[in-house]
Structure 1
Amino acid sequence: MAELAGTTLKTVRHYHKLGLLEEPERSPNGYKRYGVKHLVRLMGIRRLTDLGVALCDIPSVEAADGRSEQILRSLDDELARNIERQQRMRREIAAVLDDGASLALPPEFGAAAADLPQAQQSLLVAYASILTPEAMAVVSEEFAAPRDHVARAFERLSADAGAEERDRLAHHMAAEARRQQEAHPVIKDLDAASRRDGTTARSVVAQALAEFYNPAQLDVLRRIHALLEEEESGRTERIGAAVA
C-alpha cells in the first residue's frame, strides 16, 4: 500500500500513530490486512500534504469546519509569498547569468558594480546592512557612475604614498564629495541615512573602511572630511557675518 501511494512504511506508521490512518485488522499470521479503503485514505492524506496542509490541520480541512477556510487561505498566502520570492531569485540569477552581475553584491547594484575593486564591493555589502533603501539607491547611483582618473588613482594608492600625493588626491576628491552631498543631502547625515542606531552605523562604517582601505587611503578620507568640515565652518561664519 505504501508503494502504491508513493510513500514509505515509516510514513504509514506515523499516520497510524497520529490517528490519521485507521489501523487494519491483523490476519492470523500477524500481518496487517490493508484494503482499498486504506489506500484511498492514504492517498487523500498525501493529496493534502502535497498541497502544504500540515498534518495537524488535516482533520479540520477534511471536516470543513470553521478553521478550514482560514487554514487554506493562510496556506494560499504563504504560497504566494514563496512564488514571489522564487521569482525574485530567478531574476537575480538571470542578472548574474545574462548581465554579469556579481553574486557578492546586493541585487540592486546589478552588473554596473561588478567591475568595482574588491574593496569597494565589500564596502557596498557592509553599507547594505545599515543604510536605508533611499540612501542605498544614492550609493548605488554613485558607484555605478564611470570612475575617472582621480577615483582610479585613489584605488591604486599605495600604503606608503607620500603626503603630497595624498593631499592632492584629497583636494580633487573633496570636490566630488561636495557635489554628491549637495545633490543628495541624505548622505551627509549618517544617522538619517541609516536604518540602524547611530552608534551601530558609525561602528560598521569605521570598521569597514579600516578593513578594506590601506593607511594612505584612510588618510586621504580623513583629509577629505577635514576639507568639507572647514568649508562648512567657513560657510556658517560667512552667513553669520552677513546676518550681523
Structure 2
Amino acid sequence: MWSTKQLADLAGTTTKAIRYYHRAQLLDEPERGHNGYKQYRAQHLLQLLRIRRLTELGLSPASAASALENDNSSELYEALTAAERELTAAIDKFNAMREDVRGALAGRSFGDLALQLSDKPPGLSEKDFAVLLVMSRLFDAETVLTFQEILHSSPRTPVDEAFDALSPNADRKEREAVAEMLAEQTRTRTPENPPYSTRGQGLAEAVEIMEKSIAHLYNDAQIEAIRRSWELLRAQKTASDT
C-alpha cells in the first residue's frame, strides 16, 4: 500500500493532480488506514497510469474518463485519432506526443502501453503485478515485458515456496541461502543478455527505488534476500564481462 505522495512519485505526477482526479471522479477513492491516511494499492496505480497516459497523448481528462469507463475500443481509437490530428498542428513541444499517438495508432508503440492500458495478466499474482507496475515507471518497455513474460510463463518452484516461507525473524544464514537460490533461479530464467534499460536513471538508482517501492509487499528478511540476490546477479554479470 502507498501513501498519496508515494503514489504520485511512482506515477510521475503530483499529489495535487491526484486530488483533482478524485474530485473529477476519474480515480477511485482508496480505503483509509486506522490512522486516517489513504492507502493506495496496485489497482489505483494502474488506474492513474491509464489516465495519465491518455492525457499525455492529448486527450482531455473527460475524454480519457469516458473511454476508460465505457471500455470502448472504437471510441478510444477515434479519440486518439482526433488527438493525433490536433497534435500534428501543435507547436514543437508537442512533437513527442504526436509521435506517441502515431505509434499507438499504427500498433508500433504498444509495448509501452501494454501494461498501462490492460488489466492484470491472467495467472499473475497481485504482488508480481504490483512489482511490474513499479518497474514500468523505472525501466523501458522491453525490460518490463521481458520480466512480465518470465513471471507469466514460469511455474512456482520450491525456491518460491522457500522465499514465501522466509519469516521476519530468519537468521542471516537462512536469508543468504534464500538469496543464493533466488539469484540462481533468476539467472536460469532470464535470457543470456537480458535488457536492463532504465528510463533515465542509472541501474543502481532504479534498483534502490524498486526496493523502497515494494517494501510494503514483503517482510524485512524477504527484502534483504531480494537485495542480496540482485547483488549476486550483478557480481556474476560483472565477472562474466571481464
Structure label with greater radius of gyration:
1
Please tell me the TM-score bracket, short chain as reference. Answer: 0.3 to 0.5
Q: Please, what TM-score do these two structures have when normalized by structure 1?
A: 0.45
User: Greater RCO between the two (CA within 8 Å, min separation 6)?
Assistant: 2
